[in-house]
Homo-oligomer: A and B are copies of this chain.
Amino acid sequence: MSEVVLPDKQVRRGVRGKPIVLVVMDGLGGLPHPLTGLTELESSHVPHMDALAARSSLGMTVMVREGITPGSGPGHLSLFGYDPTRYVIGRGVLSALGVGVDLDVGDVAARLNLATFDSDGRVTDRRAGRPTDADAARVVALVQGALRAPEGIEVTLVPEKEHRVVLHLRGKRLGGAALSDSDPLDTGRMALPIEAHDEESRPTAEIVSGIMEQARRILAAEPSMNGFLARGFAAFECVPSLDERFGLRGAVFAKYPMYRGVARLVGMEVPGVPVSTEDTVSVLEQNWGGHDLYFLHFKDTDTKGHDGDFDGKVTAIEEIDSLIPRITALEPEVIIITGDHSTPTALKEHSWHHVPALMASPWSRPTGHEFGESACRAGDLGVIHATDLLSLALAHTGRLVKYGA
């Protein structure tokens, strides 16, 4: 009596189904405005999404687990049908995706801290006095310029924020990323040697240790930022792709590299890189056909949420709404509109709140004429896990066979 993996086991193989469009408004979910009791989405004038709602099954989604605030990586994995508690992306890879590194399968990434070492090599400040972004960028450029990369290996350092830096390695001679951290997690101690946990990762350990030594020499004259501590080594690994799991050839349309990165992790292609909100739909139009799942990512909703700008988030939602007719004109069988998490302007941060979701399909059970948290709460889907949206889209496009006779 073994457990059956669903929906994977029921996927109809070798047949191309009708297209699915997944529209993600980053950080869509919100909290009520104190004066009106309406959320950002409910305060928006979205005639096109409302029209879609009238032929949609609506619901609210849990992105990871109740009470858990997702980062963008896990939030999107859920929307792609991958439970982020099962498919864990390494920290270094997430950081690299976050600063916009275009990762390839096999690339290795890690989180570096600029740190202060004394003349004996002991760590005196694990964050090098929290330098300004500009100061850190200057020092990182210094290292990047003077570093002699090992033969056949590309080494890239990308400043993140203050003392945080991302290390990105690429090359055929690279090994695995099962490496120990060099951060001793305390001052007064030497940096720990970077050791390989398996045979495959030995070349990587050697390469990284060499880079760390070079950086110490290049930065020897710096008063505080005179070396790095490394942690969270991770390889950009192939998880089972959307095609392997669900028979879906996916394509991503996203201005920001982080979202293209997470999409590529599950095997989506990048037919083009949009330069704006509007251009996201233009690139979609130019590349329509040949894929099964079209993932569109819109960032401004989240940005305005972080800014605490209620009206700005409303405007961002309304701009996306104005593009919906161009998406429906392509006649996808199923359109999902949702977010990867909530970013209520009242909180100015990602939050754990359920995210409204709309699934327009000929086989939906509509319950209203509005897209918003209240309408979704009363919707046919109830409160479901975000990974189930993809299962439902597969069902609505006839891609799943019956379970049992």
Contacts and interface: CB of A to CB of B under 8 A. Distances in A.
Given A6-B64, A94-B404, A404-B89, A365 B74 contact: no
A351 B365 CA distance: 12
A177 interface: no
A395 B98 CA distance: 24
B352 A68 contact: no
Interface string A335-359: 0000000001011001111100000
Contact of A392 (B4, B60, B67): B67
9 A-B pairs with the lowest CB-CB distances in the bound complex, closest first: A382-B383, A67-B391, A66-B388, A71-B404, A67-B395, A74-B404, A94-B405, A4-B85, A352-B395
Interface stretch (A128-136, A277-285, A372-380): A372-380
Contact of A402 (B3, B66, B69, B392): B69
Contact of A68 (B7, B374, B379): B7
Interface of A: 1-4, 6-7, 10, 31-32, 37, 39, 60, 64-74, 84-89, 91, 94-95, 97-98, 344, 346-347, 350-354, 363, 365-367, 373-374, 377-385, 388, 391-395, 400-405
A4 B393 CA distance: 27
B380 A354 contact: yes
Nearest to A4: B85
A400 B365 contact: no
Identical chains in the assembly: 2
Given A66-B384, A354-B381, 20 more contacts: A1-B88, A3-B86, A6-B68, A66-B388, A66-B391, A67-B392, A68-B400, A70-B404, A72-B405, A73-B405, A74-B403, A84-B403, A84-B404, A97-B405, A98-B405, A352-B400, A353-B363, A353-B365, A353-B380, A354-B380
A87 B3 CA distance: 8
